[in-house]
Amino acid sequence: MNSNIIFLNEKLNALEFLNSYSSLFIIMDENTEIHCLPILINNFDKFNYNLIKIRAGEEFKNLNSCEFIWGNLLSNFVDRNSCIIALGGGVLCDITGFCASTILRGIDCVYIPTTLMAMADASIGGKCGVNFKNFKNQLGSFKLPISILIYPPFLNTLNQRHINNGSVEMIKHCLLEENITSSILQRIENMKDPHSLSSELKKSILFKNKIVNKDFKETGLRKVLNFGHTIGHAIESLFLSQKKDALHGECIAIGMICESFISSQLYGWKPEILQTIVQILHEYTNGHNFEKSDFVDILMNLKHDKKSKNLTIGFSLLRELGYPVVEIEVTEPLIIKSLEFYSN
């Protein structure tokens, strides 16, 4: 079980495999219609394709968008030999995968991710789904796209905030993979340089793909990818309830600072290592912070996290750089210390 990841550096010319489908459905949103479709569409002249446009943004990652897509597919005679193509960010890939896994009991899909978050993370690994009643990603399935086409020039129209957002997941991959501070620093510098971003992106994608291929259903190894996400998700929920405009990557940068602190305390990191990691990640938090009075809500959110079993929370941490460990129990006082470490 594997997706074919195709890196396209110059031209989008690797689409011949789509010839085998009876019809293609390209799902886009109002932004990718403007910025990405014109780059792609000339290559589709020879195919029988339909376009489906949904509204952009996390608030439209819901069943209404799915209903709209399912309806459109059915009224345009989708069949079991059709293929659905996502042209968009993580929201669009997650919705498309879910629609593809449910229509006619599952048909093929292809992802053409257009944000850094989607290229480096959301399109890889087969998790897809939508939000339901204010709960994130609560309806979904595992669906591997047949192919994932990575075309970095799509990033030229993405704003710096969204580049930083995706960079956070790439930094996470780097911290899980590398154990020499100088190589981490070099890789992060490369991410900031548009000329070397593509090669860093490729390393990041191959790293995530290697992990998910070994543990598709997240029963063990794949949990390493949750580094920064236990506290990060709890903070994301807090900011959501406060109607703060914070992106996932910005919350995960904070989560990785807190969880690096916890790792350093549990595993005796050298202080300068922690300092280096914190300094790097601070650039990606977009200055978001919280008050001491928010700690109680963050702790409550942690307990509601879907990764918590019987109220003990399994953290994915770093024994040292490049050596992740999973299902580590962390005491509440240490969690609070990590929140204080960040917020002071």
By annotation, the residues acting in catalysis are 105, 127, 169, 208, 218, 222, 226, 229, 233, 248
CA dihedral in degrees (70, 216, 91, 259; nearest 10)? 150
Task: Pick the binder of ligand NAD from 12, 73, 78, 91 (CB under 6 A).
Answer: 91
When asked if residue 121 is in the footprint of ligand NAD (CB under 6 A), the reply is yes
Residue 259 near residue 298, CB atoms below 8 Å:
no
Alpha carbon distance 159, 330 (integer Å): 37
When asked if residue 143 is in the footprint of ligand NAD (CB under 6 A), the reply is no
Task: Pick the binder of ligand NAD from 36, 100, 205, 254 (CB under 6 A).
Answer: 36
**Binding mask of the shown chain, residues 190 to 229, with x at each position contacting ligand NAD by CB under 6 A:** ----------------------------------------
**Distance in Å, CB of 253 to ligand NAD, minimum:** 14
When asked if residue 92 is in the footprint of ligand NAD (CB under 6 A), the reply is yes
Task: Pick the binder of ligand NAD from 69, 122, 280, 313 (CB under 6 A).
Answer: 122
- Residues in Cβ contact with 100 at an 8 Å cutoff, skipping those fewer than 6 apart: 84, 106, 107, 108, 109, 143, 145
**Binding mask of the shown chain, residues 60 to 89, with x at each position contacting ligand NAD by CB under 6 A:** -x--------------------------xx
Which range binds ligand NAD by CB under 6 A, 28-36, 74-82, 281-289, 298-306? 28-36
CA 109 centroid distance within chain: 18
**Distance in Å, CB of 131 to ligand NAD, minimum:** 8
Identity of the residue, 34 or 296, whose beta carbon is nearer to ligand NAD in the bound complex: 34
Task: Pick the binder of ligand NAD from 90, 228, 232, 255 (CB under 6 A).
Answer: 90
Which range binds ligand NAD by CB under 6 A, 5-13, 112-120, 271-279, 299-307? 112-120
Residue 237 near residue 149, CB atoms below 8 Å:
no
Which range binds ligand NAD by CB under 6 A, 54-62, 214-222, 284-292, 323-331? 54-62
Alpha carbon distance 253, 105 (integer Å): 38
Segment 306-311 long-range contacts (CB within 8 Å, at least 24 positions apart) = 307/226, 307/230
Alpha carbon distance 234, 315 (integer Å): 13
**Dmax (CA) of the chain:** 62
Identity of the residue, 37 or 330, whose beta carbon is nearer to ligand NAD in the bound complex: 37
Q: Would you state the structure tokens that stand for residue 263, as one six-digit string?
A: 């790792």
SS3 of the chain: helix, strand, coil, percent, to 5: 55, 20, 25
Q: Report the first-to-last Cα separation within the chain, whole angstroms.
A: 46
Which range binds ligand NAD by CB under 6 A, 9-17, 110-118, 184-192, 270-278? 110-118
Q: Would you state the structure tokens that stand for residue 144, as one six-digit string?
A: 């591997």
Strand, helix or coil for residue 236: helix
Print burial letters for 242-274: b (CB count within 10 Å at least 16), e (below 16).
eeeebbbbbbbbbbbbbbbbbbbebeebeeebb
Task: Pick the binder of ligand NAD from 12, 21, 31, 264 (CB under 6 A).
Answer: 31
When asked if residue 154 is in the footprint of ligand NAD (CB under 6 A), the reply is yes
Give the count of residues interacting with ligand NAD (CB under 6 A).
Answer: 31
Strand, helix or coil for residue 148: strand
Rg (CA), the chain: 20
**Distance in Å, CB of 29 to ligand NAD, minimum:** 5
When asked if residue 52 is in the footprint of ligand NAD (CB under 6 A), the reply is no
When asked if residue 232 is in the footprint of ligand NAD (CB under 6 A), the reply is no
When asked if residue 58 is in the footprint of ligand NAD (CB under 6 A), the reply is yes
Contact positions toward ligand NAD, by CB under 6 A? Answer: 29, 31-32, 35-36, 56-58, 61, 88-92, 94, 114-115, 117-118, 121-122, 125, 127-128, 137, 154, 157-158, 162, 165, 248
